[in-house]
Amino acid sequence: MVKKLFKDFYAKNAWKIRPPTSIEKREFAFILIEGGEMVRHKGFSSLNGLIDYIKSEIPLHVYYSSAYYANPAAKEMELKEWLGADLVFDIDADHIPTRCKEEHDAWRCNNCGAQDRGLLPASCPRCGSKHVTASSSWLCYQCLEAAKDEAIKLIEDFLIPDFGFSTSEISISFSGRRGYHIHIESPKILSLDPYARREIVDYIKATELIPDAQGFEPGLKVPTIGDYGWRGKLAKGLYLYLSQASVSELSDVAGPDITGGGLETWRNNLLKNLEGGSGPWLLPSSSEAAKKLFERAVAYQRCNIDERVTTDVKRLIRLPGSLHGGTGLQVLSLSLNDLERFNPLKSAVAFRTGHLKCFVKHAPQIAMMDQTFGPYHEARVELPLAVALYLLLQGLAEAVGDNS
Ligand SMILES: [Zn+2]
Ligand SMILES: [Zn+2]
């Protein structure tokens, strides 16, 4: 069933495949429907060769290397001769805390068997093992929007203003599941090693930021919103936090140290200073409270990228135009303008017509193509093909009856 659908799709839509630049220097990899193993070390000298391969093998997943190699098809990594790699960022809703995750996501520890609902933890809270995997990660509109906001933040707050990349050096794609890939193709970054890429990650995730070096210490000059780099971001973050925090929340964070005109006056004066006023740095008088405000400002401004992807100089990335074999959605190239209005549950739907009768074991509610379906529990239903295929690929449903 899946193979036939994918075959029909590629027969009509293979022209939508967007090859990476210098296709002849990239390694390609595929996960085939039969057997599910990964076929690696493939090289193609032209887009036509790649398309012919996809049409004949009908892979479930298609990847290419972020790296450029002299011999991309060599079977041993040492023989490929690494020539450089694009700088790649992966933003995935899996790593972004959203409230709805409690309703639709779950994880399991492969070491001790612990399991729970909600956001996938970095390590198991019971045994500390890092071998935790998602047992459910749902295609959800709110989670997809959160990932999109994070992608826009990465581009507009970091890549363009702080790193100085131009929009022509940045390409964006929807990953086909719950996230976005942002690629930088530029001679400037080609030869960066994993350590240099790690420094870029640390800057974006604010991993090593020290409060007093950024002015978050009583007696130091207030950072202002117009400042460059993290000082300006922290001023903005603190501004957002102060503007939205309730008085009781503020009192918990900074309260005991605020004297004189009270919390509201303090808040208003600090907001004015963050905008660029020249008054004294009206932080609470203790380093402890200043640190708490710093942490809240950082939380607003840092960007949640997957560091394993950015630091890997030989990463395999999904090919735009191909299908994601776990969702049936299409991996799509987007412009920055497209991104702001992009809704993958509409625009990345690959199978837009037809219905399928299936038996759904269990599924949370899903929204696709402006309609909602479910939740289902042990139900026989006829669903639009895209919805049914998603449930099938997730192992939550099976096709039943006459679906010819
Ligand atoms: Zn565990
Ligand atoms: Zn969600």
* pLDDT confidence of residue 94: 86
Q: How many CB atoms lie within 10 A of CB 403?
A: 14
| Burial group, residue 83, by CB count within 10 angstroms (0-12, 13-18, 19+) | middle
d(CA 7, CA 135): 28
* pLDDT confidence of residue 262: 78
Q: Is 358 helix (H, G, I), strand (E, B) or coil?
A: strand
> Rounded to the nearest whole angstrom, what is the distance from the C-alpha of residue 137 to the centroid of ligand 1?
19
How far from 159 is each of 16, 83, 105, 130, 156, CA to CA, in Å? Answer: 27, 23, 31, 30, 6
* pLDDT confidence of residue 282: 60
**Ligand having the closest approach to the CA of 121:** 1
* pLDDT confidence of residue 36: 83
d(CA 249, CA 264): 12
Nearest to 39 by CA among 20, 60, 55: 60
d(CA 349, CA 353): 10
Least confident of 121-135, 163-177, 336-350: 121-135
Residue 127, amino acid: C
How far from 377 is each of 93, 154, 175, 292, CA to CA, in Å? Answer: 25, 39, 29, 45
In this prediction, residues 205-215 reach a mean pLDDT of: 90
* Mean of pLDDT over the chain: 91
Tell me the pTM.
Answer: 0.92
User: Which pLDDT band holds residue 3 (cuts at 50, 70, 90)?
Assistant: very high
**Ligand having the closest approach to the CA of 114:** 1
> Rounded to the nearest whole angstrom, what is the distance from the C-alpha of residue 117 to the centroid of ligand 1?
14
* pLDDT confidence of residue 183: 97
Which residue's entry shows tokens 């960066």? 192
Please give all residues whose CB falls under 5 A of ion ligand 2, grouped by chain where several chains appear.
Answer: 98, 100, 140, 142-143
In this prediction, residues 313-332 reach a mean pLDDT of: 97
Distinct helix (H) and strand (E) counts, the chain = 14, 18
The most confident of the ranges 42-46, 97-101, 221-225, 370-374 is 42-46
Structure tokens at 4: 């036939």
Q: Containing H/E element for 195?
A: helix 194-205
**Ligand having the closest approach to the CA of 101:** 2
Integer Rg of the chain from CA: 24
Structure tokens at 389: 């295929």
* pLDDT confidence of residue 255: 64
Q: Is 303 helix (H, G, I), strand (E, B) or coil?
A: coil
d(CA 56, CA 39): 14
Q: How many CB atoms lie within 10 A of CB 345?
A: 18
> Rounded to the nearest whole angstrom, what is the distance from the C-alpha of residue 188 to the centroid of ligand 2?
37
> Rounded to the nearest whole angstrom, what is the distance from the C-alpha of residue 375 to the centroid of ligand 1?
30
**Concatenated DSSP letters of 35-73:** TT-EEEEE--SSHHHHHHHHHHH-EEEEEEESEEESSTT
**Ligand having the closest approach to the CA of 107:** 1
In this prediction, residues 324-328 reach a mean pLDDT of: 96
In this prediction, residues 222-233 reach a mean pLDDT of: 90
